[in-house]
Amino acid sequence: MHIPSYTLRSTLIILPSASEVCISSHSMFANADVLGNIASLVDVPSLAYFILVDSRCFDAGKRYIWEIVPTAFYVLKLLPFFTLRDGTWSVPMSANPASWEWSRFDLYAPDIRRMISLSSSSIIGDHDIDAKTFLNISYLRPDKFADAPIFPKLQSLIFRGSGLYTNTGPGNIRYLCTDRLEEAEIHVHNFAMLTYLRNLLPSVASLTKLTLVGRISASVLQTLGKFSNVKSLTIAAVYSTPEVKRTLSPLICDFFESFPSHMSPEHLVLRAYVPRMLSFETLSCVKYLELEDNSSTILHVLQAGSFDRVSLKFTEVELISSFHACFEALAKWSSRTLQTVTISSRAELKHDFPALHCLNPLLEVPNLQELCVLHSDKLNIILGDEDLSRIAAAWPSLRRLNLLPSPLSTAYRDVRQQCEPKICP
């Protein structure tokens, strides 16, 4: 990445007190492009001082301050009539705001590109934002903004449940969606997922990244098929009972069997997903596959496509031979395309197979560039000179090889301690 550099005859001074911040009057600082480049390169704390220097620095830096907001609370506080009543922050329909009361909100709202969360009790105390807040704002806005989105340049929207999401919460999405929205992430552990998805439909043409965490129903899958431009899809299903799992598994499989007629995601992430056997090439459109499940489920999915990048995480106690079986499946179905493999286990691994031998199937994958095996203390993968020679011959394009224990294990800490240089007195 090329970073522009400037040779200054006078200096830029950032002092700890905002009142003491000063900047030289060099003519280059009259150039809005130069100030914009400076604002884009400094960290957020320095940026806060930078925009307080003068009006030129303010104009150059304010959009970077408001591009990413951690909660809608800070944005809504720009409205004088956003108040705390009965333990809940809200915009009451009884408010009759004057035009000047919208000025600060209308100044910053167009700069917001990414809203990470619409409610955060950890930030604003024990109070939540009323579910009808954005609905009320849309009714109270001046007529000239009646048909305009509240955040016209919003590109990324992440919902996490509580507060704003209860009752009429899902309906708020329609007042936030724009034709620029590229990423949406929905975390909701009730039956409102379908309502959220339907209210995202105004952004169906622009949305390229979609994450769903919660209860997945047949209606949710049917609606999901309308998002044909999504290139990165994450499904983390939450089931109330094992019976619900077994009931929904065929429906979810049917959804993937419809690829690529409805959707053609290149990046697919599946967590807590229980499929039946997928037919070969079902996931032919997917280039990057991430799976988090038990080994039998993972093996079922690996034969459904030919992948460039694969990340596997076992969620149950597994045998070392499970690693070997997954590597065999990858060598069989993705040998020509596979470039990156990451595999790990949340639980302890049981020895039933020589640890080093589990890598043998991958030696048949000639284009491998990265291999990362994160494991527990008890899985010892020790490479000798002959092993390294075989790896070098099998993977001429290899750039990264990580066979160390997981960073959380004691073995990893012991290795680090031995490698750290001794400090002589």
Q: DSSP assignment of 19-65, as one string?
A: GG-EE---GGGG-HHHHHHHHHHS-HHHHHHHTTS-HHHHHHHHHHH
pLDDT tens-place string over residues 298-334? 888 888 889 999 999 887 766 778 888 889 999 999 9
- 134 and 55 in a single domain? The answer is no
Provide the pLDDT for residue 337.
Answer: 93
Provide the pLDDT for residue 170.
Answer: 56
Provide the pLDDT for residue 366.
Answer: 93
Which of 207, 239, 260 marks a domain boundary?
207
To which residue do tokens 């690996």 refer? 302
Which of 41, 64, 87 marks a domain boundary?
64
- 76 and 202 in a single domain? The answer is yes
pLDDT tens-place string over residues 258-308? 777 778 899 999 887 656 667 777 888 899 999 988 888 888 888 888 999
What residues does 375 pair with on adjacent strands? 405
Provide the pLDDT for residue 19.
Answer: 39
| pTM (predicted TM-score) | 0.76
In a domain, 233, yes or no: no
Of 160, 152, 156, nearest to 110 by C-alpha is: 152
Max CA separation in the chain (angstroms): 79
- 28 and 106 in a single domain? The answer is no
DSSP state for residue 98 in the 8-state scheme: -
- 58 and 128 in a single domain? The answer is no
In a domain, 367, yes or no: yes
- 312 and 202 in a single domain? The answer is no
Contact of 83 with 89, CB cutoff 8 Å: yes
Please spell the DSSP secondary structure of 104-128, one letter per residue. HHHHHGGG--EE--S--HHHHTT-E
> Average of pLDDT values for 207-236?
88
**Structural domain of residue 356, as residue ranges?**
277-425
> Average of pLDDT values for 55-84?
82
Please spell the DSSP secondary structure of 170-232, one letter per residue. GGGGGGT--TT--EEEEEE-STTHHHHHHHHGGGTTT--EEEEEE---HHHHHHHTT-TT-SE
240 or 253, which is more confident? 253
Contact of 283 with 301, CB cutoff 8 Å: yes
In a domain, 133, yes or no: yes
- 59 and 71 in a single domain? The answer is no
- 289 and 347 in a single domain? The answer is yes
Domain count, the chain: 3
The CATH number assigned to the domain holding 306 equals: 3.80.10
36: exposed, middle or buried (Cβ count in 10 Å: 0-12, 13-18, 19+): middle
pLDDT tens-place string over residues 362-391? 999 999 999 998 765 556 677 778 888 888
